[in-house]
Structure 1
């Protein structure tokens, strides 16, 4: 009996909650069933069931509504949490995309820096090689330059040719006149760089091919002619000449001569003339090398 009552109460509760059969329909069904099984107890059971159902509903329904409200609130809260998590997830995804883009950019920058570093290393290596080559060439050039400088010094020493001399080493007096031309010996050597002039013979001998400059000066007293010439290999070049009845006589002249190695240059006093000299060195013979000449330069001349 009690089991049947409990079953009835559960059915009524289920139907009420889910919007199913109402109390009258349940009662009718139970009545039909009870009449078939136990007609005498049908009314009693119905009355007890109605009373128990009302008591159960008063006990259970408030709890169910409260649970529903709590469940609804929980669902709402969960939805809010889900929306918040969804927004956070979207933000995280955006951050991840931004970080991915930044990482890609950083990788590109790293690759560019690596490329620049390789280029710089190659450039540095090439500069090192160039520096080594430059140092080698500098050493070679330095050695060559030193050799050239030494050759130039030697060549310049060979080109250092200049002399100047006057007639008398001491005292004073006349030279001439002579019945024939006479080669003068300028014994007082003032300068003789290269030793190309011989004070014993009065002759200058060219040590190398080139252009040379020579000068001669003559001095005498009136009443006698003073004349002398610069000769090359026995041929007259230029003459210094003066002739007057009284007072002093002075004359000078100069010439540039092209000489081959071994050519000789000297001064000849003309026959019948005379010159005078003393410590003042009036009569001088000088010469020096202007510049050497190559064979092809001589051919053009």
Structure 2
């Protein structure tokens, strides 16, 4: 309450000074006299103690009402510093995560390149008919002969040689091979699939007249450089024309890398 009285007195004095300046102005001496007069009127000599108490209360009021600016600034500075540290830590975390993602993308790209290369290695397939043109029989002969399938229909990977009739494995893997034989009775028709000089399977057909045909197939485990081909049995014959009745085909099922697999 005392502080309020003090403030009101100061406001009254300020209003009076301003009014005097508007009316014609006061010099410094008159202003001092006016302040002294107002002070004497509002605060007689016997109230000096009361005025001192009012001043003390006013100071306490100011101390209670106005915060410590320096303390607030220090607190704000500490907060800003903490936030900067948090931002730096976040930036470091984001940078590490981005580097990790970039590394994963790079590894993925390398993996895709390797996968494409591996897929290209797996692109091995061929199919060929016996006669390049015309029609007719091959055989019979007194000994086995290797058949050369010259009418190449498909030869992806160029592993089959139409000049020799031999397929050479370009990589280790499981391969599927099939043959078909066609002819007319009464002479039998028979051919065998060979792997590295060893007979594996045979396709055989025999009847006294009209058409006869047979087919067979096998899955072989081949090492790089292994060869597969077809041989005509002795005293048999095989027929073909542009309809490709008699064919030799093969393709890679999947590559193998293990060294302890059993071979066919």
- TM-score w.r.t. the length of structure 2 is 0.68
- Could you say what secondary structure the match of 2:259 adopts? helix
Which residue in 2 is equivalent to 1:134? Answer: 99
Q: Distance in 1 between matches of 2:46 and 2:232?
A: 140
1:242 to partner: Cα distance: 2.2
**1:117 and 2:78 correspond:** no
Please give the residue correspondences for 1:169-184 in structure 2 after superposition, counting only pairs within 5 Å: 169-184=132-147
Instruction: Flag the 1:262–1:77 CA change in 2: closer, same or farther, 3 A.
Output: same
Which residue in 2 is equivalent to 1:26? Answer: none
Q: Distance in 2 between matches of 1:239 and 1:245?
A: 20
More contact order relative to length (CA 8 Å, sep ≥ 6): 2
Q: Distance in 2 between matches of 1:159 and 1:299?
A: 21
1:85 to partner: Cα distance: 6.7
Q: Distance in 2 between matches of 1:238 and 1:299?
A: 24
1:265 to partner: Cα distance: 0.9
When structure 1 is superposed on structure 2, of 161-170 and 285-294 the one drifting more is 285-294
2:144–2:234 Cα contact (<8 Å) kept: yes
Instruction: Flag the 1:79–1:276 CA change in 2: closer, same or farther, 3 A.
Output: farther
1:188 to partner: Cα distance: 0.6
2:43–2:51 Cα contact (<8 Å) kept: no
- Which string of whole-angstrom CA distances, capped at 9 and with x for unpartnered residues, describes residues 81-138 of structure 1? 86477446424422323323565345323322222223323543x358637x828x94
Say how many residue pairs are matched.
Answer: 223
1:146 to partner: Cα distance: 6.8
- Which string of whole-angstrom CA distances, capped at 9 and with x for unpartnered residues, describes residues 1-31 of structure 1? xxxxxxxxxxxxxxxxxxxxxxxxxxxxxxx
User: Of the candidates 161, 180, 198, which is equivalent to residue 235 of structure 1?
Assistant: 198
Bigger fraction of residues in helix:
1
- Structure 2 unaligned segments of length 5 or more: list them: 1-39
Across the aligned residues of Structure 1 and Structure 2, the Cα RMSD in angstroms comes to 3.5
Please give the residue correspondences for 1:217-256 in structure 2 after superposition, counting only pairs within 5 Å: 217-256=180-219
Please give the residue correspondences for 1:9-20 in structure 2 after superposition, counting only pairs within 5 Å: none
Rg comparison, structure with higher value? 1
Q: Distance in 2 between matches of 1:91 and 1:76?
A: 16
Q: Distance in 2 between matches of 1:248 and 1:190?
A: 24
- Structure 1 unaligned segments of length 5 or more: list them: 1-72
